[in-house]
């Protein structure tokens, strides 16, 4: 059965190939038909081709420009270690002053978690991944005082929803 299917397939492929060769043999420009037009056509086609290639090179070069991640302009932010595990957050510190540049070093002890900071109005203000064996840096400068919450943004098991930590942001002196 397998063999006959293979044979039929090969026969079909041979037929398509033969048809292809026939068409290629019997087509192609015949100068007596359209000599002048063809010449003009080729000229247009050549410049169109050159233009497309140039455009392709430009677009490729442009797309290689590094992804515009915001460069960190903060000289010496306060470092706060943030570690996620099933199912809690551990923050090196949970109180920050308004306007104080903070850099969270975010990692995980087990699986991937999503480290997300929510403002007092429950709007998300910053987030990054908490990954085992890797530290992600997240620069945040809190602009308003209040109670902020850290929630997990990536489903990580049964008690995913209970990964909540608080950050107290106070007015500086």
Give me the residues that bind ligand CUA (CB under 6 A), please: 84, 113, 152, 154-156, 160, 163
Numbers of helices and strands, H then E, in the chain: 2, 9
The minimum distance between CB 111 and ligand CUA, in angstroms, equals 7
CB of 108 to ligand CUA, least distance (A): 8
Residue 98 pairs in a beta bridge with none
143 vs 166 by CB, closer to ligand CUA: 166
Shortest spacing between CB 168 and ligand CUA, in angstroms? 22
Among 98, 99, 90, 94, residue whose Cα is nearest residue 168 = 94
Q: Which residue, 84 or 119, has its beta carbon nearer to ligand CUA?
A: 84
Min CB(122)–ligand CUA separation in Å: 17
Q: Which is nearer to ligand CUA, 149 or 160 (CB)?
A: 160
Buried b (16+ CB within 10 A) or exposed e, 6-42: eeeeeeeeeeeeeeeeeeeeeeeeeeeeeeeeeeeee
- Residue among 78 and 160 whose Cβ is closer to ligand CUA: 160
CB atoms < 10 A from the CB of 101, how many? 16
Name the token pair of 32: 């007596």
Burial class (CB in 10 A: 0-12, 13-18, 19+), 145: middle
Shortest approach of ligand CUA to residue 155 CB, angstroms?
A: 6
Q: Judged by CB, which is closer to ligand CUA: 98, or 131?
A: 131
């Amino acid at each position: 059965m397998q063999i006959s299917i293979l044979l039929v397939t090969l026969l079909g492929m041979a037929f398509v190939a033969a048809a292809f060769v026939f068409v290629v043999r019997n087509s192609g420009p015949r100068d007596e038909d359209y000599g002048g037009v063809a010449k003009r056509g080729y000229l247009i086609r050549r410049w169109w081709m050159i233009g497309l290639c140039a455009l392709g090179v430009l677009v490729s070069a442009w797309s290689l420009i590094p992804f515009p991640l915001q460069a960190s302009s903060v000289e010496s932010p306060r470092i706060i270690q943030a570690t996620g595990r099933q199912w809690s957050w551990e923050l090196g510190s949970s109180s920050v002053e308004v306007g104080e540049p903070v850099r969270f070093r975010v990692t995980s002890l087990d699986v991937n978690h999503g480290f997300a900071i929510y403002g007092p109005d429950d709007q998300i203000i910053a987030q990054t991944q908490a990954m085992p064996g890797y530290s992600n840096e997240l620069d945040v400068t809190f602009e308003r005082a209040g109670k902020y919450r850290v929630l997990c943004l990536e489903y990580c098991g049964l008690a995913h929803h209970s990964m909540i930590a608080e950050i107290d942001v106070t007015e500086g002196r």
